[in-house]
Amino acid sequence: MGKLSFFSILSILSISITLSTVPPPTAALPLSTSSRWIVDENGQRVKLACVNWVSHLEAVVAEGLSKQPMDEIAKKILSMGFNCVRLTWPLFLVTNDSYASVTVRQSFQGLGLVESISGILANNPSIVDLPLIKAYQAVVSSLGDNNVMVILDNHVSKPGWCCSNFDGNGFFGDTYFNPDQWIKGLTQMATIFNGVPNVVGMSLRNELRGQKQNVNDWYRYMEKGAEAVHSANPDVLVILSGLSYDTDLSFLRSRPVNLTFTGKVVFEVHWYGFSDGQAWKNGNPNQVCGRVVNNLMRKSGFLLDQGWPLFLSEFGVDQRGTNVNDNRYLGCFLGVAAELDLDWALWTLVGSYYLREGVVGLNEFYGLLNWNWCDIRNSSFLQQISALQSPFQGPGLSDANSHKVIFHSATGLCVIRKSLMEPLRLGSCTDSEAWRYTPQKTLSIKGTYFCLQADDLGKPAKLGVICTDSSSKWDIISDSNMHLSSKIANGTTACLDVDFNNNIVVNTCKCLSRDNTCDPGSQWFKLVNSTRSSTMGAKPSSLMSSIFDLESPVKDVLGLA
**What pLDDT shows up at residue 50?**
98
Nearest in space to 111 (alpha carbons), one of 362, 371, 351, 355: 355
Asked if residue 179 lies in contact with residue 223, where contact means CB atoms within 8 angstroms, the answer is: no
How many CB atoms are closer than 10 A to CB 361? 15
Amino acid present at 42: N
pLDDT in tens, the chain (561 residues): 333 332 333 332 333 333 333 333 478 999 999 999 999 999 999 999 999 999 999 999 999 999 999 999 999 999 999 999 999 999 999 999 999 999 999 999 999 999 999 999 999 999 999 999 999 999 999 999 999 999 999 999 999 999 999 999 999 999 999 999 999 999 999 999 999 999 999 999 999 999 999 999 999 999 999 999 999 999 999 999 999 999 999 999 999 999 999 999 999 999 999 999 999 999 999 999 999 999 999 999 999 999 999 999 999 999 999 999 999 999 999 999 999 999 999 999 999 999 999 999 999 999 999 999 999 999 999 999 999 999 999 999 876 689 999 999 999 999 998 877 789 999 999 999 899 999 999 999 998 999 999 999 999 999 999 999 999 999 999 999 999 999 998 889 999 999 999 999 999 999 998 889 999 999 999 999 999 875 433 333 333 333 333 433 333 333 333
Burial of 527 (0-12, 13-18, 19+ CB in 10 A): buried
Structural domains of the chain ordered from first start = 49-292+310-326+343-388 (3.20.20.80), 403-530 (2.80.10.50)
Buried/exposed code over 282-303 (b: 16+ C-beta within 10 A; e: otherwise): ebbbbbbbbbbbebbeebbbbb
Written as one string, the DSSP assignment of 288-322 is HHHHHHHHHIIIIIHHHHTT--EEEEEE---TTS-
**What pLDDT shows up at residue 400?**
61
